[in-house]
Amino acid sequence: MSLANGRRYLAIPGPSVLPDRVLAAMQRPSPNIYAGELVDMISGLWADLKRLAGTQGHLAAYIGNGHAGWEAVDTNLFSRGDRVLVLACGNFGHGWANALRALGVEVDLLDFGKRSAADPAQVEAALRADTSGQIKAVLMTQVDTATSVKSDVKAIRAAIDAAGHGALFCVDCIASLGCDDYRMDEWGVDVTLAASQKGLMTPAGMVFVWFSEKARLAGQGAGLRTPYWNWGPRANPAPGEFWEYWHGTAPTHHLFALRAALDMIFEEGLAQVHQRHARLARAVWAAVECWGQGNAAIGLNVAAPAARAGAVTSIRLGAPDATRLRTWVEAEAGLTLGVGLGMGTPEDPKADGWLRLAHMGHVNAHMTLGAIGVIEAGLNALGIAHGAGAVAAAGKAAFAPHP
Ligand SMILES: *Cc1c(COP(=O)(O)O)cnc(C)c1O
């Protein structure tokens, strides 16, 4: 008999859990898109989105997902034949590189594997080697959602400065904005990217690109830019031309949802939101470390705590046990875990040895500790060896005083 009925918990790292308040905000008839509430709310929304990213720069929004956001950045900055430096720490870094290549941009790829953060020394060396200044931009993920590797954005900025290179600096924060600390202007980032369905707790379908004045000027001659992608009118629409924010009809109900989600974030307080994610992450790490003490196949993907994401944790269980466990917890306990995206190897081509547990967005201690308890029940039910004490260790890690 299954115990899955009740409120299901989707703990894949995106789409994330939708708060009831966000869902309720969408429960309404279509609004007028020419005047009234929807039009009036945009300035407050834009101000709060800029506050969230820590910038006083420009903001362009698109109806689309994260992949659309990559294309928005690429088309507004580059021309065919331009050269860029992409830092990859997993599937999503490679995804951005592929999107650039498909548009005819030449990609220098620094691949840091699947378990480590981007190395500032290698970035500095690559930029120093570019003596003719051909590299137009450095592009990276703050968190690679596939591997749960977090890179140090400030340190990469420092590397660009140390090389004395004028490249633009672009950061994909799709898995980290509203989860991990991020300060676009203070850290010297030119372009930031985030989508609605992760830390922003809103259904998939909106993507945001914040850009500096330097990026705006640098992109003015971008040969890949088309009317739809052009970030200019979206960021600075002509007076009274509300449609220009979206180059057409606004994503009406998404905007009401986003309003509710941003209210929730700022009511809790951004620092507190980051701290909640950090503590829930530590709970997961503590649990996995306990399980691993009874089975060498079990472990965290990322060894260095500083390089671990606040919103998702990639866990090694050994093939085929990760897939067996995911299947069990979904069928028996109503918990859906993430697949081991991009973790396949010749020995384990379908990544049956990997899973991801999200702790992203609208998630509290009972959800994360409950997920850990259910995973432990699954390990027991499936006869997968593991160390004892994980649930207690997780609770202690979550609620212990932290600096
Ligand atoms: C989810 C994600 C993407 C892709 O977003 P889609 O909405 O699935 O297109 C890109 N980059 C990062 C870091 C992500 O987490």
Q: pLDDT by residue (tens digit) across 64-83?
A: 999 999 999 999 999 999 99
Q: Is the CB of 93 inside a 6 Å radius of any atom of ligand 1?
A: no
Comparing CA positions, the residue from 28, 59, 21 lying closest to residue 202 is 21
pLDDT for 400 equals 87
pLDDT for 401 equals 76
Q: Is the CB of 75 inside a 6 Å radius of any atom of ligand 1?
A: no
The fraction of the chain above a pLDDT of 90, given in percent, is 99
Query: Does 189 score more than 80 pLDDT?
Result: yes
3-state secondary structure of 386: coil
Task: Report the pLDDT averaged over residues 355-378.
Answer: 98
Spans of all domains in the chain: 9-16+269-399, 31-266
- Out of 16, 74, 92, 176, mutate this one to test ligand 1's pocket (max ligand atoms within 8 Å of CB): namely 92
Backbone angles phi, psi at 281, to 5 degrees: -60, -45
Q: Is the CB of 100 inside a 6 Å radius of any atom of ligand 1?
A: no
Task: Report the pLDDT averaged over residues 124-131.
Answer: 98
Kindly give, in sequence order, each residue whose CB lies less than 8 Å from that of residue 160, ignoring residues fewer than 6 positions away: 123, 124, 127, 138, 167, 169
> Is residue 133 very low, low, confident or very high in pLDDT (cuts 50, 70, 90)?
very high
Please state, rounded to an integer, the average pLDDT across all residues of the chain.
97
Q: Is the CB of 96 inside a 6 Å radius of any atom of ligand 1?
A: no
Residue having the nearest C-alpha atom to atom 8 of ligand 1: 66
> Is residue 403 very low, low, confident or very high in pLDDT (cuts 50, 70, 90)?
low
Query: Does 215 score more than 90 pLDDT?
Result: yes
User: DSSP assignment, residue 16?
Assistant: -
Residue having the nearest C-alpha atom to atom 15 of ligand 1: 175
Q: Is the CB of 193 inside a 6 Å radius of any atom of ligand 1?
A: no
pLDDT for 78 equals 98
Instruction: Decide yes or no: CATH 3.40.710.10 for domain 31-266.
Output: no
pLDDT for 402 equals 65
pLDDT for 169 equals 99
Residue having the nearest C-alpha atom to atom 12 of ligand 1: 174
Task: Report the pLDDT averaged over residues 94-108.
Answer: 98
**CATH topology match: 9-16+269-399 vs 31-266:** no
Structure tokens at 8: 């299901």
Q: Does 356 count as an annotated binding residue?
A: yes
Residue having the nearest C-alpha atom to atom 5 of ligand 1: 66
Task: Report the pLDDT averaged over residues 304-310.
Answer: 98
Q: Which atom of ligand 1 is nearest to the CA of 142?
A: 13
- The domain defined by 9-16+269-399 folds into Aspartate Aminotransferase, domain 1 (3.90.1150)
Query: Does 316 score more than 90 pLDDT?
Result: yes
Kindly give, in sequence order, each residue whose CB lies less than 8 Å from that of residue 356, ignoring residues fewer than 6 positions away: 12, 13, 145, 146, 148, 312, 313, 314, 315, 337, 338, 339, 340, 341
- Whole-structure pTM over 0.85, yes or no? yes
